[in-house]
Structure 1
Amino acid sequence: MPLKFGTSKAIAIAFGVLTVSSIGGMFTMIILFKAQTQNITMTPPPTLPPTTMAPPPDMRLPKSLVPQKYEIVLGNGSNPNITTPNQTMIFTGNSTVHFQCAQKTMSIFLNSRYLNVSSPVVLNENTKRNIKVSGMKHRDDESDFLELELMDPLETGGNYSLFLSFHGEVSDNLEALYLSRYTDDLNTLSLSIPCMLRFIAATNLQPTDARKVFPCFDEPDMKAVFKLTIIHRRETRALGNAAPYGKNKFLYDEWQYTIFRATPKMSTYLFAFAVVDDSFKSITSPSSDTDRNCVHFFVISLDQLALPDLYPAAMENWGLITYQEGFLLYQEGVSSLLHKEDIATVIAHELAHQWFGNEVTMKWWNDLWLNEGIATYLSYIAVDSVEPTFNIKEISIMNDLHDAFREDALASSHPLSPASKEINTTDHILGMFDSISYSKGAIVLRMLANHVGEVVFNKGLQMYLKAFQYGNVEKDDLLKYIQMAATQNRGNKAVRNTDDIAGFMNPWTTQSGYPVITINTTNGQVYQKQFLFNNSANSSHWLKKQTNKKNTRFFTKNGEWILANINCIGYYRVNYNPENWERLLAQLQKNRHSIPLLNRGQLIDDAFNLARAKLVNVTLALNSTLFLTKETEFLPWESAVRNLEYFILMFDRSEVYGPMQTYLREQVRELYNVFKNDTDDDRVPQNDHSLQYTQLLAIKLACSNGLPECVEMAKQKYAAWMERNNTNSIHPNLRSEIYCQAVAAGEKEEWEFAWDMYQTSSNTSEKEQLRRALSCTKKIWLLSRYLDYTLDPEKIRLMDVASTIYYIAQNSAGQALAWNFIRANWDYVSQGDGAMLIAGVTSRFSTEFELEELMRFQNYDLGGASRAVSLAIEQTQVNIQWVKENKDDVLRWFEQKTSSVRQKEY
C-alpha cells in the first residue's frame, strides 16, 4: 500500500487490467447478491449459551491452532444479483478452514466482524469424527473474536477443520467487500444514447478487514493457502489471487460457478478479488513504457487493475494489485509529464511488495516498516533504473526525509519497531500506517545500505528473502541476514563498517526521534541530543545511546567552512556554531555549486527547523533563503518554500503577511522570468523533470504572492479556455497551478466553469487538477458549497473526500470552514484518511482557543485518527509558543528586507 484515462471509465479500467503472463492472467471469481428489502434483512450474530473461555492476552489470537488452508464458497445461486443501487446488498458463503493443533485446547478463536455466522461443524481429520460445539459467541469488543467452545479437546499434533456458514453486507465504504460505480459512456457520441451506470465489486482487506468477508485467523503470521469457489452470473467475470481450473461450469439459466486453484501461502489481508461484467477487456502487456519497465525490473507476472473507487492509492494484493485509476493510467497529451513519476513510483512500490510484504511478511503490525519502508526504498531504485531521465532519487529521498523529520520531531512519535504489545487493536494498527513506517523506514534503510555498501545490502536482502520465503519476520531477522552477507563479503573492498550491524541499527529502530549533531568548529567539540520541536521534552536517550562522537574533532582555519552529512546520508540534523553558519551562508551566495545539491536543500531545512526548536535564531533561517535569487535547481527552492509555508500558516492572519509576501514576490521574480517565455508559450523544459518541477514551483510562488505578470498570465490562459470551452491549450504540466491561480483570482464564473469541467471530464489526471483548483477560490460561500458537495458521492467520490477537505483547509479562507465541517460530519468524512484530515485542518492552529477546541475534539470517537489528534495537539502547543517568541523578530526581518522594494514602488 503506498502512503498516494481513456475516453470512458470502462476503457480506462479495461486498459488497467494488465495480463503480463499466463500466471498473471488467471482469475478468481465472486458473486454478490441484491437482497430485496422485504425478503432479506441483516440479523445480529446468533445468541448462544455463554462460554467459560478466558480471552487471550493483548487482544491477540492464541497460537494453539495453526491454519493451513481455507476453502471458501461464495454465492448460492438462489438470490438475485446486484443490478441497481440503493438496495440492501447481501453476500453469502461458507468456509472450511483446515488447521493443526499446536497445543491442546477446548476452544477455537477466530476473527469475525459484521458477519452472521452459523452452522459450525468441527471435524477431526485424522479420525473423520465430528467434535460437538457446545457454545459459540461473538465478543463485542475490539478483538472481533468469534469464540467456539468444544465438548471434546483438540489434541496436540492433530489435524482438524472448521466449517461455518455466513452472510454479510456489502460495505458502502471503501473497505472489505465494497461496491464501486462508474459510467459506461462507450458508443455515446450521440446525445440520444444514454450513459449506462455500471458496478464493480472489489475488496480492500488491509489491515484487518478480511474478517468482514469470512471468519478467519486474521493476523499476518497466521498464513495459509486459499482455495475459492464462486457462483456468479454468466455475464460477470472476476480477477483475483490465483488461477481457475479450466473453464467456468454452468449451473442453470444465468448462473455459473468457477473453482480456483490454491494461492501461495499468504496472510489474510492479501486475499483479494474484483467482480466486473463482460465489457471489461484485458491486455497482455503494460499500457506504458514506464509500467512495462517497472514490471521487468522486478521480473514478476501479475494482474494490475485500475478501479474507479479505492482508498488508499493502491494495494499490493498478491497476484492482483489494485489502483486508483489516476495511479495506474497515463494518457499522453492530457496527463502531466510529472504525473508519470507518481504512477511509476506507486507501481514500483506495489511490485516490490510482492516479495517484501507478500512473500516475506512481518510477524505483527509493529514491524510494518519491514513491508512499507523496504518497498518505499526499493521504489527509488526501481524507478531510477527504468526511467533515469526522471532524476527521481534525489527528490524522493528529500521528500521522505522531510516527511519523517517533521513527524519524528514530536515527543508523541513512535519507534520504527515499537513493542508488539503496544499495537493491539485495529486503531493501533491503522496508526502505524504513517510517515514513520514509510518514510523513516526508507531513509534508515538508505543509511544502512550506505553504511555496509550496496553489495552487502543487496546480498543480505536476497538471503533474507530466501530464508523466510512464505514466512514471517521481525526486524532482527533482516539485520541478521545483512550481517551474514557482510561476514561473507569481508574481502570485498566495497564492504565496510560491518562489525555490529544490529548495534548500529537498534538505536534507529527501537527509539523514537532522531538526533541533532552540533559541531563547534572553533574548539572542535561535537555533541548530540534528540531533536524535538518541544525542547522541554525529555531527549536524553539519543545522547546516551547513539554513536559516540567524543573522539571526533572539527577545526577550521583562515575562515574556511565545514559541511557535515554530505548528501544527507545520515538520518539526523546538523547544527554549527554561528561563525560556521555565517561562512556556509556566505558561500551559498558567493558560489552555491561548491555545496552539493542535496545539502543546499538540507541546509535550508536544518536552519528553519533548528530555529523552530530554538537552537538557532530565526533570522539565521531566513538568511538561508537570500541566495535563492540566483538558484534554479528545484530542491533548494522546494526546501525553502516548504519551510516558509510554515511561516505563512502561522502569520497569514497577521500583519507579518504583507511584508512576507513582498519578500517572496521579489525573491521569485528572477526565477519566474527564467521560465516566462516557455510558460507564456505553453512549453516546458524538455527531458529535464527537475526543471519542470522548478517551473511549476515558480508559477505557484509568483502567482500566490501577487507577481502581476504571473497572475495576469494565469487569468488569460484560463479565460481563453473558457471562451473555447473544450479546447484547452494549457500544457498538462502547468494546468494544476494555472487552474488554481485563475480560480483564486476569479469570481463565481471561473469556479463554476471548473466545476462543470470536473463533472464532464473522463480523464482522471484532469479531474484531479480541477478538484484541487476548486479549493483555491477566496470566496467563502463557494468553499462552503464545495464542502457540502463532499457529502454527496455523486459529486465527490468517497475516496476523494478527505483530500478535498484537506485542499480547502490549506486555503486561508477555508480553514475555519473545514474545521467546523469535519467536526459536524466526522463519521462520513473520516472514512478515507482521517489522519490526513486532522493534519491539514489543524495546520494553522496557533492560539489557545484553537488548542482548547482541539482538545475537546479528542473526546470524539476518532478511530484510527486518534494518534493524529495527539500529534496535532502537541504541534499546536509548539506553534503557540513559537509564534509568541518569534513574531516580532520575523516581522522586523521582512520589513527590513522589503524596505527598498517599497521605496521603488513609490
Structure 2
Amino acid sequence: MGERCKVSWLYVLCVVLALVSVATIVTLWTIAITGGRGVDVTAPWDRDRLPGYLVPEFYNITLWPRLKPNPNSNLYIFTGWSAVQFECLEATDLILIHSNKLNYTEMQDEHFVKGVSVPNIKSTWLQLQTQYLVIQLMGKLTPGQKYQLHAQFTGELADDLAGFYRSEYKEDGVTKIVATSQMHPTNARKTFPCFDEPAMKAVFHITLIHPTGTIALSNGMEMENGTITIDGETLLQTTFEATEKMSTYLLAIIVSDYAHLSTTQGNIQIRIWARKKAIEEGQGNYALNVTGPILAFFQSYYNISYPLRKSDQIALPDFYFGAMENWGLVTYRETNLLYDPETSSNSNKETTVTIIAHELAHMWFGNLVTLRWWNEVWLNEGFASYVSYLGADYAEPDWNVKDLIVLDDVQKVFAVDALVSSHPLTSKEDSINLPGQIMEQFDTISYRKISLSYLQDNNVSLPRQVDAIMNRWVRQMGFPVVTIDTSTGIVSQNHFLLVPESNVTVESPYKYEWMIPVRWMKDGATKDIWWLLEKKGLNVDMRTGPSWVLANINVTGYYRVNYDLGNWERLFSQLNTDHQVIPLINRAQLVDDAFNLARAQLLSTTLALRTTSYLSKETEYMPWQSALNNLNYFNLMLDQTEVYEPMQEYIRKQVTPLFLYFRSITSNWTKVPEKHTDQYNQVNALSTACRTGLPECQNLIRMWFRQWMDDPEHNLIHPNLRSAVYCSAVAAGGEAEWNFTWSQLQDATVASEANKLMLALACSNNTQLLERYLEFTLDPAKIRKQDATAVITAVANNRAGQNLTWQFVTKNWEHMFTEYGVGSFSFASLISGVTARFSTPQELQQLLDFEEEHKDAGFGSAALAVDQALERTQANIKWVQRNKQEVLQWFRSQTGN
C-alpha cells in the first residue's frame, strides 16, 4: 500500500488487541480513556463536529471477520488494518478521527519523513462521549502537505445491526453467519477509524479476508481473489475496485455463503444476492427483472449515466432499516427485496419495486450528489421517495402507482405535520449534532413531505422565482388549509393545526403563509390554476350559486381544503347521485380532509362522517382506504366505550355491498381481480367485513384456515388474502390456532410469508397468548431484533393488547432501550405505536410519569416521538370529551337503533 503515496506521512501503529476476555478489553479501554487527565469542556475533542482542517483523500482498509466465536471470550470479532491519507489545510498539532467501540492498546509513533519534518506523538486517547480517537502531536502538521494515519484494531462482530455486524439464519438445519454492515448514518466509525461526516468524501480501497466457501462483496467489483494462510489457517482474500469518491456512510462490506442471479443492463452487471434456498426458489427473479428497467429510467431521468460497473442488491435476514443505498451494493430486509409468486401478495410486489426504485434513485441523488450535513436529510430522502413512484411506474405501468402517493405519503405526513411538535424540512446545521439527533431527521416529514412536486407540473406557471415559493414550504413547518366560500368568492389560507388551541412556539420568517396553486373544478369542469399568495384572495368564479366547487384537483398541492356548508352539501349530493363525476383521487381527499378538519374543529364530526355515507356505492380502493384510515382513529379512541358496537354495525352495513361485489367479480373468491388496486380493495372488503362481524365473511375465513390446519403442507389461501385471513382466524380462534400459526412461522422460508404470520399472531384476543408473545420479543432466538418493535406495536394495535403492551414497555424499557435503541426510526415507532390509543387523563399522566422517569437517560432517536405522543394524547382526551356523545347518536341514527 505504501507505494501509492509519494508524500510526507505520519504512521501511527496500533498493535492489534489479542483475543482476550471482555473484562480485559474493558480494562484496557478504560485506562486509555481516563488516563488521569482532566477534561476541558471547550476542547476540540469535546465538540460534536470535526474541525475540518484535515480532509481525507482515500482509505486502504483490510477487514477480517470471524464467523465463529472466539473460544476464550465466546465473542464474534473482526480485526482490521487501515490507512487513511489526508491533506492538512491548517497548521495543527491535533488529529481527531472518529472511532467508536474499536479496541486499541498502546500507541507508538514511527514516522518516515520526506522533505517535511513530522512531529512525534505526545499522547493518544479515546474520547468516548464524542467518539473520537485523539492524537496530540509535539509539533504541528504543515498546511498543504499530505499524511497517512495507519491503525490496527479489533471490534466485536455483534448482532446489534450497526456498523460491521453479525446476522444469523438457518438453512437445512444449519446455523449460518453473515458478516454485513450498516454504516448509515454514524456507524462507519464502529468499523474503522474514519472522518465520519457526509461531506468528508474519499475513495475506498477495500480488501476482505474470509473463510473458504464464502463470498465477499463490497461497493466495487471484485478485482483479485486468492488464498492466504494466517496462523496455519487457509483463508480467501478478496480485493475490490476502488470506489467512487463517496461518504463513509455509503460503504458496504459483506461476507456470506450466498448465491446470486445476474443479468446486464447495457454495460452494467446486475446481481441479486440472497440465501441459497431463496435463490433456488426464484425469490430474486422479480427484483432482477425490474432493476434493469429502473436503472435505465433513472439514467434517462437524470441524464447522467450510472457511474459504476455493477449494481448489487442483497437480502439480509437481520436489518434494522427497510433498505440502504450503499453505492453499488444496496442492502435490504428480505421482505423488501425477495418476492415469491407462490406466497407473496401484490402488496409485497409493489413494496419490492418501489423500494428498489427508491434506493436506486439514491445512486445519483444522495451518492453522486450528497448533502453536506444531516440537517438537509429531506433533500436525500424526500426526493428519492418522490421519484421512486416514477421508477416503479416505469417498471409496472399498468398499476397507476403514482396515484397512491396521496394515500401512502401525503395523507400520512399530513397527520404529523399538523402537530406543533412538527418541524421544518430543513433545520439549522448547528442544531443537529449528536447521533440521536441525526437519527431523528429520518422521519415521516423528511421522507414524505414531498408533495411540492406540483412544481414539476408543466401546467403550473410560476408567478415568482422558485426559491421564493420553495422557501415557504421548506423553512417553515406545517401546511395550510385553504378555505373557499362559494357565496362570496373569497379564498383564504391559514396554518392548519390538528389541535387549534395549540401554542405554536416556533416562529416562522414567513408568518405561516404559503404560496399555493389552487387547481379547481366547477360542476365537473376543470379550471385554470389560480395562485393564492396571501392570507385572503378573491376569485369571483368561485361564487357558484347552485354549482359545486372542488379544489386541489388530483391533490397536486400540499394543503387541505375547506368549504362553506352550502358547498359541502352540494358535494354530498353529487357523491350520492353520481360519485364518479368527482375524480377518484379527490374522493379520497374529500374523506381525509373532512375528518381532519373536524378534528381541528373547523367542521362538525357528523359532517365528516357523512363523507362515508356514499361508500356503499363505492368500489374503488383509494376512497375506501382513506375512509378506513380515518375510521381507525374512531376505533382507537372509542373501542372501549359504548360507541364501539354501533360503530361496528355501521361500518359492517357500509362494507357489505363491497364484500358482495368482490364475491361476485371473483366468482365466489376463486379468481383474482385484474386491477392492481382492486386486489387491494378486495383485502379491505374481506378484512373489514370479518372484523365488524359479517357472518358470511367469518364463516369463510374459518373454513379456509381450518382446511389449512388439516393439511399444513397445502396452503390454498391466496397470497393477497393471507394477512386478512390469518389475522381474522387467530382473532376468532384460540390456543390451537395461535400455536399452529406460530409453528408455521418457525417453518416459513419466505420472508414475506413469515411477516404475515408474525403480525397475525398479534391479533389474538387471548391476553395470556399476547403476554407470551410480548415476552418473545426479548428473545432474539424467537423474534429477530429487527422485528421486535413491529411485534410490540402490532399487539398494541390490538384492542385486547393495548394495556398489556404499555405495561410490558414500561417494565422492560431500560432493556429495550439498550438492546434495540441503536438509533433507528423503528424505535420512535415503538413510542408512537404503544401510545396511539391514549385518550384519558390517566393515560396522559402515565405518559408524563414515564417521560419523567427516563428523562436523565433520554430517549435517543425517539425524543421527538415522545413529544408527539404527549401532544396527541392531550388532543385525544379533548376529542373524546367533545365528540363521544355526538358520534354515538350519529352511528345509532344510521343503523336504526
TM-score past 0.5 threshold: yes
The one of 231, 241, 258 aligned to 2:209: 231
Question: What are the residue-to-residue correspondences of 1:756-767 with 2, within 5 Å?
Answer: 756-767=743-754
Equivalent residues of 2:454, 2:556 under 8 A apart: yes
Does the 8 A contact of 2:19 with 2:70 survive in 1? Answer: no
Structure 2 SS opposite 1:338: helix
Aligned to 1:842: 835
Which residue in the other structure is 1:135 paired with? 123
Q: Kindly indicate whether residue 170 of structure 2 is the aligned counterpart of residue 205 of structure 1.
A: no
Q: Does 43-52 or 548-557 show the bigger shift?
A: 43-52
1:16-48 deviations in Å (ceiling 9; x for gaps) = xxxxxxxxxxxxxxxx99957599745415245
Q: Equivalent of 1:814, from 792, 795, 801?
A: 801
Q: Tell whether 2:393 aligns with 1:384.
A: yes
Q: 2:375 aligns with which of 366, 369, 386?
A: 366
Q: Are 1:661 and 2:668 an aligned pair?
A: no
Q: Does 1:704 align with 2:687?
A: no
Q: TM-score, normalised by structure 1?
A: 0.86
- Cα-to-partner distance string for 1:842-886 (whole Å, 9 max, x where unaligned): 000011111111122224232111111111011111111111111
Which runs of structure 2 are paired with 1:111-510 in the superposition (5 Å)? 111-118=98-105, 119=107, 121=109, 127=115, 129-141=117-129, 143-185=130-172, 195-251=173-229, 253-277=233-257, 280-284=259-263, 287-288=285-286, 289-299=289-299, 300=306, 301-440=310-449, 442-444=450-452, 446-450=453-457, 453=458, 496-497=461-462, 499-510=464-475
Cα offset, 1:99, TM superposition? 0.9
Q: What do residues 173-216 of structure 1 show as CA deviations (whole Å, max 9, x unaligned)?
A: 1111111111122xxxxxxxxx2111111001111111111111
Correspondence for 1:457: none
Q: CA deviation at 1:669?
A: 0.7
Q: Distance in 2 between matches of 1:405 and 1:86?
A: 50
Aligned length: 812
1:239 maps to amino acid: L
Distance across 2 between alignment mates of 1:83 and 1:389: 54
Aligned residues of 2:795 and 2:802 also touching (Cα < 8 A) = yes
SS in 2 for 1:574: strand
Q: Return the match for 1:716 from 703, 706, 711.
A: 703
State yes or no: 1:776 paired with 2:763.
yes
Partner Cα separation in structure 2 for residue 56 and residue 37 of structure 1 = 29
Report matched runs for 1:565-714 at 5 Å: 565-677=552-664, 681-714=668-701
Between the aligned partners of 2:788 and 2:558, the Cα distance in structure 1 is 34
Deviates more, 1:538-547 or 1:125-134: 538-547
C-alpha distance in structure 1 between counterparts of 2:226 and 2:391, whole Å: 38
Relative to structure 2, which stretch is displaced further, 356-365 or 128-137? 128-137
Which shifted more, 160-169 or 590-599?
A: 160-169
Q: Which residue of 2 aligns with 1:22?
A: none
Cα distance between partner residues in 2 of 1:850 and 1:38:
42
For the 8 Å contact 2:499–2:600, the answer to whether it is kept is: yes
Residue of structure 2 aligned with 1:890, choices 887, 891, 895 = 887
Q: Which residue of 2 aligns with 1:10?
A: none
Per-residue displacement from partner, 1:287-311 (whole Å, max 9, x unpaired)?
A: 2233443344335531111111111
Q: Which segments of structure 1 move beyond 6 Å, counting only runs of 4 or more?
A: 83-86
1:760, 1:84 → 2: CA distance?
Answer: 31
CA contact (8 A) 1:109 1:145 kept: yes
RMSD across aligned C-alpha pairs, in angstroms?
2.4
Contact 1:120 1:164 (C-alpha < 8 Å) held by counterparts: no
Letter in 1 for 2:468: G
- Indicate how the Cα distance of structure 1 residues 623 and 543 shifts in structure 2: closer, same or farther if over 3 A, else same: farther
- Secondary structure of 2:586's counterpart equals helix
Q: Which residue of 1 aligns with 2:847?
A: 854
Post-superposition offset of 1:400: 0.2
1:519, 1:386 → 2: CA distance?
Answer: 39
One-letter code aligned to 1:398: L
Write the distance in 2 (CA, Å) between the matches of 1:361 and 1:767.
36
2 CA distance for matches of 1:503 and 1:281? 49
- Alignment-mate amino acid for residue 448 of structure 1: L
Judge conservation of contact 1:369–1:437 (CA < 8 Å) in 2.
yes
Find the aligned partners of 2:560 and 2:212 in 1 and give their Cα distance: 61
2:61–2:205 Cα contact (<8 Å) kept = yes
The question of whether the paired residues in 2 share the 8 Å contact of 1:682 and 1:729 is answered with no
Residue 491 of structure 1 corresponds to which residue in structure 2?
none
Partner Cα distance (2:723, 2:612) in 1: 26
Cα–Cα, structure 1 residues 248 and 673, in superposed 2: closer, same or farther, change >3 Å?
same
Counterpart for residue 552 of structure 1? 538
Amino acid across the alignment from 2:500? N
Secondary structure in structure 2 of the residue aligned to 1:116 = coil
For the residue of structure 2 that corresponds to 1:537, the secondary structure is: coil
Distance in structure 1 (CA, Å) of the matches to 2:736 and 2:119 = 72
- Measured after TM superposition, the shift of residue 748 of structure 1 is 1.1
The gaps in structure 1 that reach 5 residues or longer are 1-31, 186-194, 454-493
Cα shift readout 1:312-355 (whole Å, capped 9, x = no counterpart): 11111111111111111111222112311011011111111111
What is the letter of the counterpart of residue 876 of structure 1?
T
Q: Report if the CA contact (8 A) 1:704-1:741 is conserved.
A: yes
CA distance in 2, matches of 1:371, 1:54: 33
Q: Please tell me whether residue 877 in structure 1 is matched to residue 871 in structure 2.
A: no
Q: Which amino acid is 1:66 matched to?
A: V
Q: Is contact 1:58-1:424 (8 Å) kept?
A: no
* Structure 2 counterpart of 1:553, one-letter code: N
Give, in angstroms, the shift of residue 392 of structure 1: 1.0
TM-score for both structures, normalised by structure 2: 0.87
Distance 1:675 1:122 in 2: 77
CA contact (8 A) 1:219 1:267 kept: yes
Q: Distance in 2 between matches of 1:755 and 1:500?
A: 58
Higher relative contact order (CA 8 A, sep 6+): 1
Match of residue 60, structure 2, among 68, 71, 94:
71
String of CA shifts for 1:768-791, please: whole Å, max 9, x gaps.
Answer: 111111111111011111111111
Aligned pair 1:517/2:454, yes or no?
Answer: no
3-state secondary structure, aligned to 1:407: helix
Separation in 2, partners of 1:663, 1:752: 33
Q: Does the 8 Å CA contact 2:19/2:72 hold for their aligned counterparts?
A: no
Deviation at 1:723, TM superposition (A): 1.1
CA change 1:897–1:596 in 2 (3 A) is: same
Q: Deviations over 1:817-839 (max 9, x none)?
A: 11111222232354561111111
In 2: Cα distance, 1:657 partner to 1:86 partner? 56
Letter in 2 for 1:779: N
Q: Quote the sequence identity (%).
A: 42
What is the CA–CA distance in structure 2 between the aligned matches of 1:130 and 1:227, rounded to whole Å? 25
Cα deviation for residue 525 of structure 1 reads 1.8
String of CA shifts for 1:463-490, please: whole Å, max 9, x gaps: xxxxxxxxxxxxxxxxxxxxxxxxxxxx
Question: C-alpha offsets along residues 706-750 of structure 1, whole Å, 9 cap, x if unaligned?
Answer: 111111111111011111222111111111101111111111111
Whole-angstrom CA distance in 2 between matches of 1:830 and 1:149: 33
CA distance in 2, matches of 1:644, 1:873: 22
How far residue 546 of structure 1 moved from its aligned partner, in angstroms, is 2.0
Aligned to 2:550, what secondary structure does the other structure show? coil
For residue 405 of structure 1, report the CA deviation from its aligned partner: 0.2
Looking at structure 2, the residues matched to 588 and 560 of structure 1 have their Cα atoms a distance apart, in angstroms, of 14
